Amino acid sequence: MMSANSVLVLKVGGALLQNEAATLKLMSAIKEMGATGQKIVLVHGGGCLVDEQLAANDKQVSKLDGLRVTPSDQIGIVVGALAGTSNKMLQAAATKAGMVAVGMSLGDGNTVNATIKDPRLGLVGEVTPNDASYLSFILDQGWLPICSSIAISAAGDMLNVNADQAATALAKLVNGTLVLLSDVSGVWDANKQVIKSLNKHEIETLVAQGVIEKGMKVKVEAALEVAQWMGKPVLVASWQDTEQLKTLAQGGSVGTQIQP
């Protein structure tokens, strides 16, 4: 499914960061893909690290429809966990795997436009693609951009963006192929069997039935939006599954295909 010269936008969920072996495996798969000339943008979450840091600071965790409510007294902790610890852990793993990595955030280089999504969510951002110059520069050097989902609004607010939605904006920006890697092998049906392919109607039905919920609902809806925008499928697969990574590295299709 990967078209020639298309940039691969690979998003990994935060649970990866709690698994050193899986992180190293992912980095070697990325290195293998890069060696064939494939340009890759790595986007990451870190929701579990944010949870840990909020708890350590006696802050309450609250989510609305899969998105973290982020009051102003929590944004510093969120930024530290995502743009700091998570981003640098991945940069360190990429460096260890022998790649040149640039740790960045959505807020860098005019890459996206960011606004407050919904006042009920506090400092949560909605982002749209803006300027690909910075990413293109990094990719043209043969380096690996590793992007956290912290954005900055025109008014100068630091904003917490769901990382699947961050990956969506970057995939649109570079007209890339989007792959969302999570801790599950794909989207499950009611019997927890991975569904090979899903279209808009099937997604709406499964969401209405409560079979697709929480973080997966956000993910699948982000994937559908990009699939429709680009007229090509988006993959939801696992970073845990070495076979899936191998197939992916060879340009194959794995997990669940979200159809336009």
Ligand X SMILES: CC(=O)N[C@@H](CCC(=O)OP(=O)(O)O)C(=O)O
Q: What are phi and psi of 210, to 5 degrees?
A: 80, 10
| Identified binder of ligand X from the candidate list 23, 41, 47, 77, rule CB under 6 A | 47
Q: Nearest CA to 256 among 238, 229, 239?
A: 238
Task: Return the DSSP state at 215.
Answer: H
Catalytic residue among 103, 107, 117, 164: 164
CA angle 216, 73, 116 (to 5 degrees): 55
Question: Is there a catalytic annotation at residue 47?
Answer: yes
Residue among 79, 217, 58, 86 nearest 161 (CA)? 79
Of the residues 13, 34, 45, 47, which is catalytic?
47
50 binds, among ligand ADP, ligand X, none (CB under 5 to 8 A by kind): ligand X
Q: Where are the alpha helices (DSSP H) in 101-194?
A: 133-140, 163-173
Q: Is residue 57 marked as binding?
A: no
List the catalytic residue out of 11, 25, 39, 172.
11
Tell me, yes or no, if 11 is annotated catalytic.
yes
Compute the distance between CA of residue 203 and CA of residue 234 in angstroms, rounded to an integer: 13
Partner in contact with 213, chosen from ligand X, ligand ADP, none, beta carbon below 5 to 8 Å by kind: ligand ADP
Q: What's the closest the beta carbon of residue 155 comes to ligand ADP, in angstroms?
A: 28
From 12-20, 52-60, 169-177, 227-235, give the range in contact with ligand ADP by CB under 6 A. Answer: 12-20
Q: Does 160 count as an annotated binding residue?
A: yes
In the complex with ligand ADP, which residue's Cβ is closer, 60 or 191? 191
- Helix then strand count (H, E) for the chain reads 9, 14
Identify whether 251 is a catalytic site residue.
no
Strand ranges for the chain from DSSP E? 8-12, 40-44, 63-64, 67-68, 101-105, 112-116, 125-129, 144-148, 150-152, 158-160, 177-182, 197-198, 234-238, 256-258
> Is 68 marked as binding a ligand?
yes
Chain residues that interact with ligand X, rule: CB under 6 A:
13-14, 45-47, 50, 67-68, 78, 82, 124, 149, 160-163, 215
| Active-site annotation, residues | 11, 14, 47, 164, 219
Per the annotation, binding residues for substrate are: 46-47, 68, 160
Chain residues that interact with ligand ADP, rule: CB under 6 A:
13-15, 45, 47, 164, 182-184, 187-188, 211-216, 219
